[in-house]
Every structure is written in structure tokens, then in C-alpha cells.
Amino acid sequence: MNKPGSYLLAAVIALMTTSLTHGQDKPAPDKPSRPTFEVASIRLAKPGTRGGFIKALPGGREYTAQNIPVKLMISLMYKVPMRQITGGPDWLTSDFYDVEAKADGSYNIDELHVMYQNLLADRFNLKFHKESKEGNVFALTVDKIGSKMKVNETEQDFKIPINFGPDGVVIGTRVPMSYFCWWLGQNLQRQERPVIDLTGLDKHYDFTLTFAPDLPPDVPKDNLPPGLLDRPSLFDALKEQLGLRLQAQRGPIEYYVIDHIERPSEN
């Protein structure tokens, strides 16, 4: 069975200790008051299916997921690590779903994520509130040498921003810092510290990053690419290759507390 922690998906951090009920920001002018997909199909994935993905398709009209647990969907759509999603039944991580959702036109990625949030509310009857608590975090800042990443001003292409290339080299294309912090948090799962963005960088960036992964002790190392573990740590690689710095400190951590959720009826 697939383990949700094996899927790379990051942290959303609040600035004060509080408890909030779930709600959406006011929509932009001429947008639907509550944007939803025009049609959506949700089915349990076939047992024994290996791997999985969840992504928007080029054109901004469709969002698809294959063999993905609901907890991971919530994590992606709200950009919060799964360890910061609490409450709810065990099937949030044990049931895997296929989703095919289509919009009535072309939308940007943020609008599609709001549609998917509303799909979770409508089809899974998801209800939650937020709580913020002080805890251990990593702060991402620009090192004194300055950022070495290249600004990418091309149009949105709906591709996954960060992928692993040959020999485990990380390739970032048109990456916003919010996604990068989320991705870093997933790669530092064992540290159990969300990554908060204090860089002030507000564009999209291209980069390559080569580092030795932080592997659990029980992971076999025989089949790893040659020299992989001889590479710099993620902390050193960020500074040397991208001009960024990760620093451990205390800060507010936002938790999503599940109040109610139901299995959807298939269609």
C-alpha cells in the first residue's frame, strides 16, 4: 500500500495564536461568488495501484488526481503539511481516490485550487477550523550574497514546478516561494519543522539544486545513485547554489483541525 508521506507535496503559517472557521476570501470582480468545477468524477482507485499524482492540466480547465488520499488533497489545496492536519477518520490516509474535474472555462492555478477546495466541501462535506500554536520552524531567508535563482516571467504553463531530473538533481521551473517552502518542508519531514518564507522574493524562479537527501535510517542505500550521499546537505546546498539560508527558530505553526468529513458517493 502506498504511504502518504512518500508523496512530495508545504507549510502555511499564521501570525497569531487564534482559532478560525474555514472561509474564502472575497472573489475578484466578474468571478463567480463561489467558483466550482462544472463537472467532477470521484472514484476509489483500483486496489494495488502503484504511484499517484495530482495536478492541473495545461489550459487551466481541468484538475486530475490518480491514486491520492484525501488528506494529501487537503494538504495540497491549502498548502499545509499533512502532519499539521489533525482529527478526522483513518480513511483520510488509507483510502485512495481518482478525481477528474472540469471547469467551464480557463482559470489560473489559484482559482483552480479554490474550486478544488469547494469540491472537498461539497462532495466530501469537509468542515474544519484553524488553530495556531507556537512551535519549532525553519525560516527561509536570502543569504548575504544574494539570491542566485533566475527570475522566470513566462506565462503560467500548469506544469509541476519542482521535479527530480537525472541522478536526483532537482529542477525548479517557474517556482513561487510559497510552493518552494512547502516543498522544502516535505523534504525535511524528519525535522518536523514547517518552512516559513522570509525572503521577500515575490516572483517565479528557475533553479537547479543538488543535495544529499535526509534519509531515514532504515532506507536501503544500495540502489542510490553513485555519490548521492557525498553531496552537500540541503542546508549547505541552498546557501551555496541558490543564495538562500534556512535557520531554525521559534514561530507560529498553523494547524487544520478536521471537524467533519464523509466519504463521497461515486459517480
Residues 128 and 142 in one domain: no
Residues 114 and 160 in one domain: no
Q: Is the pLDDT of residue 4 over 60?
A: no
Burial of 227 (0-12, 13-18, 19+ CB in 10 A): exposed
Cell of 117: 477546495
* pTM strictly above 0.85: no
Residues 231 and 151 in one domain: yes
Helix (H, G, I), strand (E, B) or coil at 218: coil
Domain contains 26: yes
Residues 168 and 128 in one domain: no
Residues 127 and 145 in one domain: no
CA distance 110 to 260: 25
Q: For residue range 166-203, what is the model confidence (pLDDT) as tens digits? A: 888 999 999 999 999 989 988 888 888 999 999 999 99
Domain contains 21: yes
- Banded model confidence at residue 219, pLDDT cuts 50, 70, 90: confident
Residues 146 and 213 in one domain: yes
176 and 10 Cβ atoms separated by less than 8 Å: no
Helix (H, G, I), strand (E, B) or coil at 115: helix
| Cα radius of gyration rounded to whole Å, the chain | 19
Domain contains 266: no
Domain contains 47: yes
Domain contains 105: yes
Residues 36 and 106 in one domain: yes
Residues 164 and 82 in one domain: no
Residues 11 and 121 in one domain: yes
Count of structural domains within the chain: 2
Q: What is the mean predicted confidence (pLDDT) over 144-169? A: 91
CA distance 179 to 12: 10
Q: For residue range 21-68, what is the model confidence (pLDDT) as tens digits? A: 333 333 444 556 889 999 999 999 999 888 899 999 999 999 999 999
**Among 25-34, 86-95, 157-166, 242-251, which is the least confidently predicted range?**
25-34
pLDDT value of position 32: 63
pLDDT mean across residues, the chain: 85
For residue 80, the enclosing domain spans 4-132+253-260
Domain contains 267: no
Residues 245 and 171 in one domain: yes
pLDDT value of position 7: 39
Residues 20 and 65 in one domain: yes
Domain contains 265: no
Residues 94 and 57 in one domain: yes
Question: Over pLDDT 70: what percentage of the chain?
Answer: 88
Domain contains 37: yes
